[in-house]
């Protein structure tokens, strides 16, 4: 279980009070799809085109991470699947060696927050992988990803995607609880990708 320290000072959520997202089929079209060539700004300072990466890469997408000291309103928790972005990111951080042992080349996180905001999260919770900013919703539009609105901003719903040599091999959607996202992907990898 994640500790408050591992989550950047936030206590781990009690998932029993968070509404579970239902599978609405909004990602069914992604399985087997060729990943589009699109450059996405990264916390590394460069842009990343996931379609150009060789081998198996994991992209997890989260709606938004909270800022230090931010009070998360009850309305956010009431959105099924919205809560838990930092726990999801930390689950991939904590399992990063396991992913490497399973042949994963790279892990990326992605949200619609800007790169500077994402750098703060990366530094605060010591993420060993880069975060990608789909602030302009280019990736969301070309992949037709499910979104929801929050305080006048369009956010992408939580998911994880396995991409191998330009092809989407597997999609996890919806993801719940968020802190089990990495474990779900690892289970697939260890089970022979079935």
Q: What is the pLDDT of residues 24-82, one digit of tens each?
A: 999 999 999 999 999 999 999 999 999 999 999 999 999 999 888 888 888 998 999 89
Count the neighbouring beta carbons within 10 Å of the beta carbon of residue 117: 18
Confidence (pLDDT) at 77 = 87
Does the domain at 25-190 match CATH 1.10.3720.10? Answer given as no
Cβ(190)–Cβ(170) below 8 Å:
no
Q: What is the pLDDT of residues 152-168, one digit of tens each?
A: 999 999 999 999 999 99
Cβ(87)–Cβ(14) below 8 Å:
no
List the Cα angle 32/34/40 in 5-degree steps. Answer: 125
Model confidence, pTM: 0.92
Spans of all domains in the chain: 25-190
Mean pLDDT of 111-124: 96
């Amino acid at each position: 279980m994640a500790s408050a320290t591992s989550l950047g000072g936030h206590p781990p959520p009690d998932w029993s009070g968070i509404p579970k997202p239902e599978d609405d089929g909004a990602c069914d079209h992604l399985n087997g799809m060729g990943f589009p060539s699109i450059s996405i700004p990264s916390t590394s300072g460069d842009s990343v085109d996931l379609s150009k990466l060789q081998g198996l890469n994991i992209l997890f997408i989260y709606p938004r991470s909270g800022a230090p000291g931010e009070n998360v309103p009850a309305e956010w928790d009431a959105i099924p699947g919205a809560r838990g972005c930092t726990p999801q990111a930390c689950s991939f951080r904590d399992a990063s060696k396991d992913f490497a042992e399973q042949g994963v080349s790279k892990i990326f996180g992605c949200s619609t927050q800007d790169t500077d905001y994402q750098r703060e999260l990366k530094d605060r919770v010591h993420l060993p992988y880069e975060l990608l900013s789909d602030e302009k919703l280019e990736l969301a539009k070309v992949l037709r990803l499910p979104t929801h609105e929050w305080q006048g901003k369009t956010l992408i719903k939580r998911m994880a995607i396995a991409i191998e040599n330009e092809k989407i091999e597997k999609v996890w959607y919806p993801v719940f609880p968020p802190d089990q996202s990495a474990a779900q992907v690892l289970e697939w990898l260890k089970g022979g990708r079935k």
